[in-house]
Structure 1
Amino acid sequence: MSNKVLSNKELDYVRSREAADGSSTEKSGGVLVNDFEEKKEPELTGFAKIKDSFRRYDSEELNLDPNLTDIEKTAIMTANSPLSRKLKNRHLQMIALGGSIGTGLFVGSGSTLRTGGPAGVLIGYGIISTMILCMVNAAGELSVTFPVSGAFVTYNTRFLDPSLSFSLAWNYALQWLVVLPLELVAASMTIQYWDTTTNPAAYVVIFYVLIVAINFFGVKGYGEAEFLFSLIKVLAVTGFIILGIVLVCGGGPNDEGYIGGRYWHNPGAIHNGFKGVCSVFVTAAFAFAGTELAALGAAETADVRKSLPKATKQVFWRIALFYIISLTLVGLLVPYNDERLLGSSSVDANASPFVISIKNAQIKGLPSVMNAVIMIAVLSVGNSSVFASSRTLAAIASAGMAPKIFAYIDKAGRPLFGIIFQCIFGLLCFVCASSKEGDVFTWLLALSGLSSLFTWGGIMLCHIRFRRALYVQGRDTSELVFKSQFGVYGSYYGVTIIGLILIAQFWIALFPSNKPSALNFFENYLGAIVVLAFYIPHKLWRRGSLYIKAKDIDLDTGRRELDLDLLKQEIAEEKEILASKPLYKRIYHFWC
């Protein structure tokens, strides 16, 4: 309400009219001043402010038309989520750059080197890398256009099918629920590099409390922690690349001389043939798990239009520099028949080929530094698991696919009960004190083994359906702020690669040797069975068609810019400005 200059007579009249509802009007230099404009609630401080932040976010109830379909209601609910928008550009940049650098790279690469050989590792990670590039571009396009709660977790409902969305959403939630206890135990096992006498459970308590505390600070706490963790990981991998080049060229202190491609000739470049190369795919997929987290944070990003495209483009550099180059050096420095690789597992940092290569060079002190980095990487993934699972649970609860209590968002923008549930589930980490630790974690890992592949496949299928809906409804990509650099054909390619990987993994899981093994099959293919276990009952209950027709897909709910004509004009102006810049700046903009 704007203030209006009034005469004394007019002020007297207004006072008499407002007397009935108890509001007062005072004159200050002939200016009308109302109680509801001037009075403010006392600002809370200290413990009272902290306590108040846990109360439910007081937002206006959405008066949804009862005639709306479930899909339309889901789109509206997720678009109006009260999650806090506190992630800044630097947070998304570093989360994208170092978010998925974890045990999959530092430790899991040891098992792939042992089973596939150095060339097998590069082939497997290279193929997965091309698929990841297509996936993050698809996720970036969708998330910039629709920065809604849950992002790709809820896109499946809008673009594919509610039953498929239900199964993939719970698949993604379970993936991250399982990761927290796994990573906490991995961190405690890493500590044993220095301390073999203390019970690992003691360290689990420390790490558990740290991760819980970080996430109760809200999305800003997660963002700042990941910024620091990712910065350390990026610096560590960069340092290892420089050291690796020096060692390969014979600059190590052990006087071993020029190494070059010695281990590619003896014992060899590929181990176990085609099956060995295929065995790399799932471990490589596990290594890249978390690449999609930048898109998941779209609803909590202050300026998603500028921040998310930059974060998406950074994935190319992360893959090229931190995965392909570092794994090439690892394959040159460590032979695949090194006995220390035989103990490779997700919780044995001593089997890390990064650590082994430094030990082989007889560089004192650096193995301890590398183990410390591995521990930080493990904590980073554990921290990300709380963020990912709680936001997923909040999104699917808003969509009516999980208990409503998980949709509780407090005044600080935290999905409170989602965080609490993840922290309770994380208590499974204390089985590290049990003699059955190995069995429990084998099956927990089996639950999440293939889940990333289904998540990524869902993202690219949504992108394909989104582009199809634009075409059928007579619209085009001129209204998109950010477009996938590989277009819809990149998503077709990515889905094809995932399909082939699932077929190859089915073969390896069922026939690890010449004879079939039921135990090995369920340990390695349980993730696919979980997806079907969610999908089939939900589809039988809901019935309906197998997919949503392109002409019925909602292309507007959830957008932050609803004036499409104005948006197209702004995009055109931005393109003109970019076109006027020098060639090197245009190239930089395309890749960065």
Structure 2
Amino acid sequence: MKSEVQPSTSGDYELSTTLPMMSTEINDSKTKPTISYEDSIVDSKEDYNINNPNPAETNKNRGFFGNFIDSFKPIELDELDENLTDLERANILASRAPLQRSLKNRHIQMIAIGGAIGTGLFVGSGTALHEGGPASLVICYSLIGTMIFCTVQALGELAVAFPVAGSFLSLNSRFIAPWWGFVIAYNYALQWVIVMPLELVAAALTINYWDDKINSAAWVSIFYFLIVFINIFGVKGYGEAEFIFSLIKVLAVIGFIILGIILNCGGGPVGGYIGGRYWHDPGAFNHGFKGLCGVFVTAAFSFSGTELVGLTSAETENPRKTLPSATKQVFWRITLFYLISLILVGLLVPYNDPRLLGSGSSDAAASPFVIAIRNAGISGLPSVMNAVILIAVLSVANSAVFACSRTIASLADQGYAPKIFGYIDRRGRPIVGVAISFLVGLLCYLAASPKHGVAFAWMMAISGLSSIFTWGSICFAHVRFRLALAKQGRNTDELTFKSMSGIYGSIWGASLNFLILIAQFWVSLFPTNKADAYNFFQNYLNAVVLVFFAFCFFVWKKFKIQLLTPLEDMDLDTGRRVEDWDLLKQEIAEEKAYIASRPFYYRVYKAWC
């Protein structure tokens, strides 16, 4: 063995010299052969540094502009063994992707807490309230909340064990099958590349709350170049922007919860005591069971973007310590920010309020949060809430560039897209993926067209179900990973973070995602008592897109594929940052002993935060 374990700057332990062709890894009392590949990974941090790939060349200070230009040059990586299979090659490329590990604990925590707080909560909840009533709102968001919690826990376990580029996108190919990894990755890229122009237009339309005289194209231009500016700074720019955006959103929701309690108890300027008045008149439910199913689907879409915390794993300083805490924050986001605020919305706004039927999903005037404040007769605060909605929209647009660019790079790493798509510059930016995001983002100028509503509705239909398929795939990949561990004679003792909901939580998550697809099929095909093909394809077109991607892969591989990768053949080692298992287990044991020595309240805090 020509290997030596050295501590990395992020606190993990990494192999610093070339691995031999065949090595053995001791796990408990068993010795399991682990295939590694000579020259397939970088030799050391001195030979390979993403911030300084060629010290002799880049140590020269060429001034701000010269250094800025140099930062776009590619990082030179060693060629891989030509004898590797496609899947082995993809696993190695994902594990050694030269992305910057610039996201700190505070970035990840705030992305986890506020990342999914957007128009789905602030505006989409109004549509859900109108469709099903306040009781349906609470029931469906609670059910979806359990699914999201289980999904993020499964994602956390996989992302901590394999903090590789592409995260769950590359792990789908490894733990399910390459064809499914191809389908989900392309579908996920399609989702986010379309979301960016949609959100920029939504931001411009949000301005209409104050002034509808200025052409939307002017505001679109301002917001477009703001997002470009943020992403010039790579993942650090994304992290800092999301930290600020999420902090504002979190403070706004907490402020609304406090205000909502006061208003419900009669503390507002007008209206007096409200209590549960609107649960009796007009009622707790609307449109019966179909209304409940409609809210079920809307609630699922409101949590879109929750999985982004897993996509950051390859660009996190210390994923072993940061990601477990971040995934636990999902519990608080669901209970505090979603359920409590939506309970108050259902108490403060009747489901038959005509203002809930806004002109679109970005109509701030249709936000039940804004309507509740207006009903209380409070001047000024509706504009503040509208500003928060604007920030939430820009946050989603910023996240769209991050998610789309990383997904495109992952597709190239897996051999599913041209190699140039995986181009990563010296600042760790997947620059081609970012460029594609901004190129498609120019569709935002359709906002100046009188037909922009129809165009964007069909664009959204192409990827509308993407999040549902993504979450179900994460849960299924986690189940397969656990089964593969058992099949290969290994156990969860080698995992530094285990899902709190375990394998049964992932089964529940996958099952609930399947039920969402059934509910969406029903409400899309039968929005009324008669079937409506136009409405069906506008809401279910993404399923057809998935079939198209699968067909393309089958033709590409001449239909010579495996529907599922055999459990005994799964690669459970490539991409693991930690090599010294004994040292790691000792570190974890010391952390547990320290927590056990602390008071009860501290132990409870560490269990859930």
Specify if TM > 0.5: yes
Which residue of 217, 223, 245 corresponds with 1:207?
223
Name the counterpart of 2:549. 534
Match of 1:115 in 2: 131
Question: For each residue in 1:529-586, what CA deviation from the matched residue of structure 2 results, as whole angstroms up to 9, or x when unmatched?
Answer: 1111111331344222210011111111001102233323332333233223222221
Q: Does 1:128 align with 2:116?
A: no
**Counterpart in the other structure of 2:371:** 356
Residue in 1 that maps onto 2:279: 264
Among 488, 498, 502, the alignment partner of 1:473 is 488
Change (3 A) 1:396 1:362: same
Query: Quick one: which amino acid aligns to residue 247 of structure 2?
Result: L
For 1:415, the equivalent position in structure 2 comes to: 430
Shift of residue 344, structure 1, vs aligned partner? 5.5
Q: How does 1:61-80 map to 2 (within 5 A)?
A: 61-64=78-81, 66-80=82-96
SS of structure 1 residue aligned to 2:275: coil
SS at match of 1:386: helix
The amino acid of 1:52's aligned partner reads D
Give the counterpart of 1:46 among 59, 64, 84: 64
- Using the TM superposition, give the Cα deviation of residue 40 of structure 1 relative to its aligned residue in structure 2, in angstroms: 9.1
- Taking the aligned partners of 2:231 and 2:155, their CA distance within structure 1 comes to 24
* SS of structure 1 residue aligned to 2:357: helix
Distance 1:477 1:228 in 2: 37
Please give the per-residue CA displacement for 1:271-291, whole angstroms capped at 9, x wherever unaligned: 111110111122212211111
**Alignment partner, residue 463 of structure 2:** 448
Separation in 2 of the partners of 1:39 and 1:150? 30
Structure 1 distance, partners of 2:356, 2:598, is 51
Runs of at least 5 residues in structure 1 that lack an aligned partner in the other structure: 1-35
Name the aligned partner's letter for residue 105 of structure 1.
L
- 1:229 equivalent in structure 2: 245
Return closer, same or farther for 1:338/1:45 CA change in 2, 3 Å cut-off: same
Q: Is the 8 A contact 2:188 2:470 kept in 1?
A: yes
Which is further off, 340-349 or 197-206? 340-349
Partner of 1:85: 101
2:523 maps to which of 505, 508, 524: 508
The answer to whether the 8 Å contact 1:479/1:567 transfers is: no
More deviation, 90-99/38-47? 38-47
Amino acid corresponding to residue 121 of structure 2 in structure 1: L
Match of 1:309 in 2: 324
The answer to whether 1:497 aligns with 2:512 is yes
- Bigger mean CA offset, 286-295 vs 322-331: 286-295
Distance apart, 1:438 and its partner CA: 1.0
Partner in structure 1 of residue 583 of structure 2: 566
- Greater shift after overlay, 399-408 or 217-226? 399-408
> How many angstroms does 1:105 deviate by?
0.5
Q: Secondary structure at the match of 2:103?
A: coil
Deviations 1:125-157 (A, max 9, x none): 111100000000000000001000010111111
- State the secondary structure of the residue aligned to 1:258: coil
What is the rounded CA distance, in whole Å, between the counterparts of 1:503 and 1:373 in structure 2?
34
Structure 1 residues 378 and 197, CA, compared in 2 at 3 Å: closer, same or farther?
Answer: same
- Highest Rg: 1 or 2? 1
Q: Partners in 1 of 2:481 and 2:592 — Cα distance?
A: 23
Whether contact under 8 Å (1:107, 1:344) holds in the other structure is no
Deviation of residue 257 (structure 1)?
1.6
Match of 2:403 among 360, 385, 388: 388
Give SS of 1:394's match.
helix
Residue 51 of structure 1 and its aligned partner are, at CA, apart by: 0.5
Structure 2 counterpart SS, 1:124: helix
Q: What is the alpha-carbon distance in structure 2 between the residues aligned to residue 62 and residue 118 of structure 1?
A: 58
Give the equivalent residue in structure 2 for 1:12. none
The secondary structure found in structure 1 opposite 2:517 is helix
- Report SS of the residue matched to 1:61: coil
CA distance in 1, matches of 2:384, 2:308: 27
Code of the residue aligned with 1:61 in structure 2: it is D
Amino acid at match of 2:64: G
| 1:179, distance to aligned residue in structure 2 (A) | 0.7
Q: Distance in 2 between matches of 1:495 and 1:39?
A: 50
Contact 2:179–2:561 (8 Å) recurs in 1: no
How far apart are residue 38 of structure 1 and its match? 11
Cα separation, 2, equivalents of 1:304 and 1:202: 41
Measured in 2, the distance between the counterparts of 1:217 and 1:436 equals: 35
In the alignment, which of 210, 215, 226 is matched to residue 194 of structure 1?
210
Unaligned runs of 5+ residues in structure 2 are 1-53
Cα offset, 1:57, TM superposition: 1.5
Listed one character per residue, the Cα deviations across residues 300-326 of structure 1 (whole Å, up to 9, x for unaligned) are 001111111111111110111000000
Query: In the alignment, does 2:594 pair up with 1:577?
Result: yes
Q: Secondary structure at the match of 2:312?
A: helix
Q: Among 142, 157, 165, which residue is 2:181 paired with?
A: 165
How far apart in 2 are the matches of 1:483 and 1:182?
37
Q: Does 1:155 align with 2:168?
A: no
Letter in 1 for 2:450: S
Higher helix share: 1
Q: Distance in 2 between matches of 1:451 and 1:570?
A: 39
Deviation for aligned residue 1:39:
11
Residues 236-292 of structure 1 show CA distances to partners (whole Å, capped at 9, x for unaligned) of 0000000000000011101x2210110010111111111101111222122111111
Identity rate of aligned residues, in percent?
Answer: 61
**Residue aligning to 2:477:** 462
Pair 1:179-2:185 in alignment: no
1:330-373 Cα offsets, whole Å, 9 max, x none, are 01111010011122521211110100110000100000000000
Find the aligned partners of 2:551 and 2:188 in 1 and give their Cα distance.
17
Distance 1:37 1:464, change over 3 A: closer
Runs (4+) off by over 4 Å: 36-41
Per the normalisation by structure 2, the TM-score is: 0.89
Alignment-derived partner of residue 16 in structure 2: none
**Alignment coverage as a number of residue pairs:** 554
* 2:205 alignment partner AA: M
Shift of 1:41: 4.3
Q: Residue 61 of structure 1: CA displacement?
A: 1.3
> Given the superposition, is the C-alpha separation of residues 38 and 394 from structure 1 closer, same or farther in structure 2, using an over 3 Å criterion?
closer
Report if the CA contact (8 A) 2:257-2:344 is conserved. Answer: yes
CA spacing shift, 1:410–1:302, aligned 2, 3 Å: same
Task: Work out whether residues 396 and 402 of structure 1, in 8 Å CA contact, stay in contact via their aligned partners in 2.
Answer: yes
Say which SS state the counterpart of residue 438 (structure 2) adopts.
helix
Q: 2:464 touches 2:542 (CA, 8 Å); kept in 1?
A: yes
- Counterpart of 2:324, as a letter, is P
* Structure-2 residue corresponding to 1:57: 75
